[in-house]
Structure 1
Amino acid sequence: MPGENDEKVSRCIIITGISGSGKTTTLHHLEDQGMFAIDNIPPSLLPQLFDVLRTHKAAVEHGVAAVVDVRGEALLHDLIEVMGFLRRSISDVRLVFLDADDAELLRRFETTRRRHPLGGIPILEGIAWERDVLAPIRDIADVVLDTSGLLPTAFREKILGELGSSREHVTLIVSSFGYKYGVPKDCDFLFDVRFLLNPYYSEELRPLSGRDDAVQTYLRNLQESERLMTSLLGFLELVLPLYGNTGKMQMHVGVGCTGGRHRSVAVAEWIGAHFREKGWVCTVRHRDIDKEARW
């Protein structure tokens, strides 16, 4: 039994509509926004699902997005009743109905070479059947969106705009590394800070790392560090939201020095602290920080 002090899911987006209209794509976009995503769930299980997700961090903080459609067959008929229950128990519930014209839907099925979910009937016949069965659900939808002719970027812009979701929910990953151990292969940007004076050559600082106050103070006192951080942070503040605008929900920045223990670690820590303070989701990793700890 959930405890009295358990948090609960306060946001829910139910996605339904005609097959081929973009339900799965919409689910992926909402998942990129941090929501807990689930595809093809019988409506009657939704209340139980929200009870279970009381302890799930992403579900509590960002909400739940679920696709419910004709793949559930007769189970779909419970959706209208379940929506009434959800509206009474969850503060922010929205039912999104996606549609497109017949020609567009037919083109999408032919492009992907997928059969209609009902199987055994022509695609256009299946679409007509769906429109008839889903008409009562469409009537109670909070958002009805026609996706005909929308290219991927425009589709994302429209669905997130309709649902009031952030376009800047980009996760920033900052990795320090040592060039002597190789360059990371999956970074979007690489910054070389080997031009900064190396604390390694100080006997007092050598055993420490860029996480330690003494090393950070040493580096902050360098004129080059101040100029570097002003330019570097300004650049990242420019490009980070632009990444979100184009649909890329993660940006990986690599910061390298010779051994990956002092200079790159300190700079990576400064970048992380700066963007976390501004409200961005930021993870800082130090790939090579322990490889020269013996010195």
Structure 2
Amino acid sequence: MEFVIISGLSGAGKSKAASFMEDMDFFCVDNLPAPLIPKFAELGMAGSGEYDRVVLVTDIRGGTNFDSLFQALTDLKAMKCAYRILFMDASDETIIKRYKESRRSHPLAEECDSLEQAISLERQMLEPLRRRAEYIIDTTNLSPAKLKGELRRIFAKGSSTEGRMDIRVSSFGFKHGVPMEADLVLDVRFLPNPYYVADLRPLTGLDQGVRDYVFHGGQAEEFLERLWALVGWLLPRYEEEGKTALVIAVGCTGGHHRSVAIAHALAERIRGQGWPVAESHRDLGRN
């Protein structure tokens, strides 16, 4: 069972982080009373897998005394339920700006004369929990996309490709329309067309004879090298920005020959660099 406790300053992005964690198949509970945390852990450990990955959000709304939370953490350790604490932080100026934009009231507003005092008091109260955190994320200069990418980097599970951006390379025919979901569209109609070779017309770009014809002469190979220089540069930058899926669509006239051969070769190149990639050929079954 994977147990993550998210805490931190009000306005630092706890709710946003929990939302992103939910997208990563965590079961998220907001502001669960601390004495119930061990009970919830028991439920997860005894369950059938529904609560294998859990995020609990706890903050100053739960009260000014964190003794009950620390006791709950001690109980988790006694139960041999491993947990990690993620602490969300941000500069005072950033938090003040966010509160002004949202027009919400700080949880400690009634106990303080100003928002600055409320933030200062909250920092003091949360410091013991901050010292116990395995991860501290400062969202002062972090966009939502970059926050999502950072969470994926820390909490991705499984294989070395788990949590990485999903890539799909798809071929298509322009006469059937450009795929609506495409992020990058490539036109390979400048390449020699096997359609006009009688023996190759009934075949597809997955057949060796068609691939040999498309790549003969060096144009396709040079195009693939230039294309990889761009795509190979883009992939890590898209991932850094928190993009979770990328669709690269390669088109020719009918979607049977040139686009299929190039899409297949590009997918193999991406896969060879360790990226998770799926390959599809939308129009192979069309006339």
Distance 1:219 1:170, change over 3 A: same
Q: Is contact 1:175–1:285 with CA below 8 Å preserved after alignment?
A: yes
SS of residue paired to 2:233: helix
2:130 equivalent in structure 1: 138
Give the superposition deviation at 1:205.
2.9
Of residues 147, 152, 170, the one that matches 2:143 is: 152
Q: Which amino acid aligns with 1:281?
A: P
Q: Which residue of 2 aligns with 1:193?
A: 188
- Verify the 8 A CA contact 2:149 2:239 in the aligned structure 1: no
> Deviation of residue 143 (structure 1)?
3.3
Equivalent pair of 2:14/2:57 in contact (CA under 8 Å): no
Give the alignment's Cα RMSD to 1 decimal: 4.2
Deviation larger for 190-199 or 97-106: 97-106
Query: 1:19 — aligned with what?
Result: 10
Q: Shift in Å at residue 141 of structure 1?
A: 1.9
Deviations for 1:215-255, whole angstroms, at most 9, x for unmatched residues? Answer: 33433444222222222222211221122233334332221
Which residue number corresponds to residue 271 of structure 2? 276
CA contact (8 A) 1:27 1:65 kept: no
How far apart are 1:256 and its partner, in Å? 0.4
Change (3 A) 1:105 1:260: same
TM-score, length-normalised on structure 2? 0.71
Which residues in structure 2 correspond to 1:45-84 (within 5 Å)?
45-46=40-41, 48-49=43-44, 54=49, 64=53, 66-70=55-59, 73=62, 79-81=69-71, 83-84=73-74
Alpha-carbon offset, residue 29 of structure 1: 5.9
Per the TM alignment, residue 209 of structure 1 is displaced from its structure 2 partner at its CA by: 2.4
Alpha-carbon contact 1:178-1:257 (below 8 Å) kept: yes
In structure 2, the residue matched to 1:108 is: 98
Query: Residue deviations 1:109-138, cap 9 Å, x none?
Result: 221234557999989487678657655533
2:86 is the counterpart of 1:96: yes
Equivalent pair of 1:70/1:117 in contact (CA under 8 Å): no
Structure 1 range deviating more: 108-117 or 273-282:
108-117
Which residue is equivalent to 2:249? Answer: 254
Q: 1:252 to 1:79 in 2, by over 3 A?
A: farther
Q: Percent identity?
A: 33
1:19 shift after superposition: 2.1
For residues 280 and 21 of structure 2, what CA distance do their matches in structure 1 show? 26
Q: How many residues align?
A: 270
1: CA distance, partners of 2:145 / 2:169: 29
The 10-residue stretch of structure 1 (94-103 or 224-233) with the greater mean CA deviation from structure 2: 94-103
Inter-CA distance 46–259: structure 2 relative to 1 (3 Å threshold): farther
* SS of alignment partner, residue 36 of structure 1: coil
Q: Classify 1:270/1:72 alpha carbon distance in 2 versus 1 (closer, same or farther; 3 Å).
A: farther
The 3 A distance-change label for structure 1 pair 224 and 139 is closer
Q: Structure 1 residues 150, 234: closer, same or farther in 2, change over 3 A?
A: closer
Q: Unmatched 5+ residue regions in structure 2? A: none
CA distance in 1, matches of 2:165, 2:149: 18
CA-to-aligned-CA distance 1:21-47 (integer Å, 9 cap, x gap): 112333466678xx4344335334345
| Contact 1:174 1:284 survives alignment (8 Å) | yes
- Offset of 1:96 from its aligned partner? 1.6
- Give the superposition deviation at 1:191: 1.4
